[in-house]
Amino acid sequence: MLVAYRAGMELNGSSAVVTGGASGIGAAAARQLAAKGAKVVVADLQEDAGNAVADEIGGAFCKVDVTNTDDIINAIEMATSMGPLKALVNSAGIGWAQRTVGKDGSYDSAANLEAFQRVININLIGTFDCIRLGATAMSRNEPDEFGERGAIVNLASVAAFDGQIGQASYSASKGGVVGMTLPIARDLAAVGVRVNTVAPGLIDTPIYGEGEASEQFKANLQRGVLFPQRLGFPDELASMVVECITNSYMNAETIRVDGGIRMQPK
């Protein structure tokens, strides 16, 4: 028996929240979701850049610190005022690099515990807080013919698998995002919400700065990429994010988008 192909979850007339949406992968995802017809809330700490993206795509900006639950709720409420919340992209995050033990053997030179905790609070706990609150709003949506109410995509990193020297906090935070993807997807199946994670490799975003020194640094980085031997483009990551949202059979998965790179120890 032939079954007609289903186009996937419809975003036209819905709303979306993208944390970290003012730049890089988050901004690219916001643009592509808007192109699908979603009203996007750009949730970020960068007000000027965030407002610029929101104005460009006909969305709205909400100043959000993902370690602040009230900020997250404000962004979700802003989104639901524009349409049913069907998409959440968790792209907000920070990096930190420091060796676990200092060179002089003193306790004071050991890795900064507060910095470790800050990375975990933003990248892992902040992501979970967004998920639990966003999924709560999605659970109130009217389900489609297959019971679907929404989809969530988290941004992890290949550092979750190939963490380099000094990346203990960052790798732990992103590894936690990968590790919670399946249990949360199993949990949220009860309310018709899918959860996936995209793990980017080396992506050409503003994090690397600008100018000749920046270009030289990026040229050195891309040598480890299998093929194509270059840094990834934000739009290449964003297209996978959107696919995970709109493809109704994508669930509980972590996908590396990295040009085949396997990070070396340093």
Residue 7 falls inside a structural domain: no
CATH of the domain at 223: 3.40.50.720
Burial class of residue 69, CB neighbours in 10 A (0-12, 13-18, 19+): middle
**Lowest-pLDDT range, 204-208, 225-229, 260-264?**
204-208
**In a domain? residue 4:** no
Res 6: pLDDT: 67
Residue 170 appears among annotated catalytic residues: yes
List Cα–Cα distances, 45 to 51, 56, 93, 121, 231, in angstroms. 10, 18, 11, 16, 26
Domain for residue 265, yes or no? no
Q: What is the C-alpha to C-alpha distance for residues 148 and 211, in angstroms, rounded to an integer?
A: 46
Q: What's the half-sphere exposure (Cβ side, CA atoms, 13 Å) at 248? A: 17
Residue 164's Cβ-count burial label (10 Å; 0-12, 13-18, 19+) is middle
Instruction: Give me the catalytic one of 5, 107, 170, 208.
Output: 170
Q: What pLDDT is attached to residue 82?
A: 98
**Residue written as token pair 């007609």:** 4
How many whole angstroms separate alpha carbon 148 and alpha carbon 246?
11
264 belongs to a structural domain: no
Distance between CA 28 and CA 112 in Å, rounded? Answer: 33
The span from the CA of 90 to the CA of 43, in Å, is 10
Q: How many domains are contained in the chain?
A: 1
Look at residue 62 and tell me if it is in a domain: yes
Joined together, the tokens standing for residue 224 give 């480890």
**Could you tell me if residue 130 is inside a domain?**
yes
Confirm whether 66 is domain-assigned. Answer: yes
pLDDT band at residue 2 under the 50/70/90 scheme: low
Mean of the pLDDT values across residues 177-182? 98
For residues 169-197, average pLDDT? 98
Parallel/antiparallel/unpaired status of strands 254-257 and 193-200: parallel
Reported as a pLDDT band with limits 50, 70 and 90, residue 1 is low
Q: pLDDT tens across 12-50, in order? A: 999 999 999 999 999 999 999 999 999 999 999 999 999
Q: Which domain holds residue 62?
A: 15-257
User: Does position 5 have pLDDT exceeding 70, yes or no?
Assistant: no
Task: Express each pLDDT in 73-112 by its tens digit.
Answer: 999 999 999 999 999 999 999 999 999 999 999 999 999 9
Answer yes or no: is 193 within a domain. yes
- Judge whether residue 206 has pLDDT over 90: no
The burial of 12, by beta-carbon neighbours within 10 Å (0-12 exposed, 13-18 middle, 19 or more buried), is given as: exposed
Beta bridge partners of 194: 151
The answer to whether residue 123 scores a pLDDT higher than 60 is yes
- The secondary structure of 155-215 as a DSSP string is E--THHHHPPTT-HHHHHHHHHHHHHHHHHHHHHGGGTEEEEEEEE-SB--GGG-SSHHHH
